A and B are shown apart, each in its own frame.
Chain A
Amino acid sequence: MASVGRPIPAVTPDMAGFFEGARRGQLMVEKCDHCGALRFPAHDLCAKCLGRGATWVPVSGRGEIYSFNIMHQVYHPAFAAEVPYAVIVVKLEEGPKMISNLVGIKPHEIRIGMPVEVTFERGGEDLMIPKFRPRAR
């Protein structure tokens, strides 16, 4: 499995809803309880209205490539066999952006604007982690 040895994210209390959703196969973002603005990753308060309190809500999992890079330098041993690999920024249909990886495509075939959809892979022993794959427009 490609992800063996990758640094597994800690499930911090503020991100618990994200990982619970992922386990159900749902991509989640935070929704401000006051003004309804969507955000990712989790924040203690809303940068738009400064309201406290937010609820994790599912989104479509669809979006497009907003930007990407192709990593050649190895910063962590788990990636030594993977370079060059791409890291993408997805702009979700609902607005928020997410950093992720794109599966099912070679790094140099990635283009900004490419439509993508979420897919999930197992990370570590008990986490599901969202990645993205190309989709038809």
Chain B
Amino acid sequence: MTTDLRAKCAIAGLGQTRMGKNFDHPNAMGFAIEAIELALEDAGLSREDLDGLLVNPGVTWMENAMASFSLQQAMGLTDLTLTATMNLGGATAGAMIMHATQAIAAGMANVVACVFADAPLRPPSPEKGKAAGGSAAAYGFARGLNAYYGQFGVNAAYAFVAQRHMHLYGTRQEHLGAIAVAERDWANLNPAAQFYDAPMTMADYNAARWVVEPFHLYDCCLVSNGGLAVIVTSAERAKSLKHPPVYILGMGQGHPGGDPMDTLVSGAPLAKKTAFKMAGIELGDIDFAELYDCYTFTVLVTLEDYGFCKKGEGGPFVEGGRIGPKGSLPVNTGGGQLSSFYMWGMTPVAEAVVQMRGEAAARQVPRHDIGLVSGNGGILSTHSTLVLGANP
């Protein structure tokens, strides 16, 4: 049984707080509320119009299993007909938009806010003279034997996968560097990016300290305080709102299971199959791609897995600035999570909306009819694909 959801719904509002060392709110909840207010205003809607609320809590409030209810109470929303706290890691943003679309198409909700917020950074402390908290160690990823062996954090786990890719396919450090440099070039065209006005060459990339080999500092995503929300509604309703609708043409998920070290493949092939079929597109129809980039390496694998190049050829593919501002395939056009801000899967979603509307100013890509948005969680464990369109 299938129901055609192609272009049934659209993203009608985008709300983005200031990103990075932003201490406007004492916790993530405050950033979530601000982002939703901004998204409603952007759409030309009010709180009373909302009947759906989907929440992806970031690291600092992840343990609040009923975060969506807490948020509903905190912002005085009444009589919702859809809500959920969702977590597929970096694939959550895409999954929330899918859930909203399904519910709206089924008549279960009309206007759904999907929000991510986090506040891992603390204001500078006068006693210590430096920011407190926010380290990966505080997230408690390491226990037992792994801690004894010194295996801490997600960086270290991703490094294992990247190392095997380098071994099997001859991927080199400069290939990862080419992705970091391309995204930085994009960020320098984006005033909202944390690394705006901070150019980086390959030499700068190589000179940066190692975090965990094969990852330099600039292979790893930023840490950001902030909130990001989108408003999803029916395509019909979206047409009457303030901005041109960003149509949701295709949606898919893929969660391969098993050990990513064995396959070096993400969930993208599986998610792409469903999403491209729904959208009725092929890879060549994609004008630009906003790919989940917790690490440079994630972008490399994702490019391979969507078929932009063959498996193992992601390294040579990104050489020569191909994915940068002057390249033939624009990727992560706002600077991505490596150089703009780290809002999990909402970072690529937000940039796609800006590009699709033609509001990206200095970084606007020339063709923006069809955009690809990927989300990725865990260690290549979960994956979401959205195909967005400027036209239904």
Contact = CB atoms under 8 A, between A and B. Distances in A.
B210 interface: yes
Given A9-B144, A73-B211, A89-B261, A66 B164 contact: yes
Contacts of B142: 7, 75-76
B161 interface: yes
Contact of B155 (A8, A12, A66, A73): A73
B167 A112 contact: yes
Contact of B148 (A70, A71, A75, A123): A123
B212 interface: yes
A9 B150 contact: no
Nearest to A83: B150
Interface stretch (A25-33, A50-58, A94-102): A94-102
B317 interface: no
Contacts of B61: none
Interface string B195-214: 00000000000000111111
Interface string B136-175: 1100001111111111110110011101100100000000
Interface residues of B, number: 31
Nearest to A88: B149
B145 A10 contact: no
B148 A69 contact: no
Contacts of A68: 160, 163
7 contacts: A70-B213, A71-B152, A72-B212, A73-B210, A75-B136, A87-B150, A99-B145
A101 to B, nearest CB: 5
Interface of B: 135-137, 142-153, 155-156, 159-161, 163-164, 167, 209-214, 259, 261
Contacts, number: 92
A8 B144 CA distance: 7
A22 to B, nearest CB: 11
A101 B146 CA distance: 10
Contact of A75 (B137, B160, B161, B210): B137
Contacts of A67: 160-161, 163-164, 167, 261
Interface string A69-95: 111110110010010110101000000
Nearest to B138: A75
B interface: dominant SS: helix
B137 A101 contact: no
A15 B164 CA distance: 29
A9 B143 CA distance: 7
Given A66-B164, A70-B213, A97 B144 contact: no
Contacts of A76: 137, 142, 147, 150, 152
Chain A interface size, under 10 / 10 to 19 / 20 to 34 / 35 or more: 20 to 34
Given A89-B261, A112-B163, A72 B210 contact: yes
A129 interface: yes
Interface string A99-134: 111000000000011000000000100000101000
Contacts of B212: 69-73
Interface string A1-35: 00100111110100100000000000000000000
A12 B137 CA distance: 22
Contacts of A129: 145, 148
B259 A97 contact: yes
A78 to B, nearest CB: 8
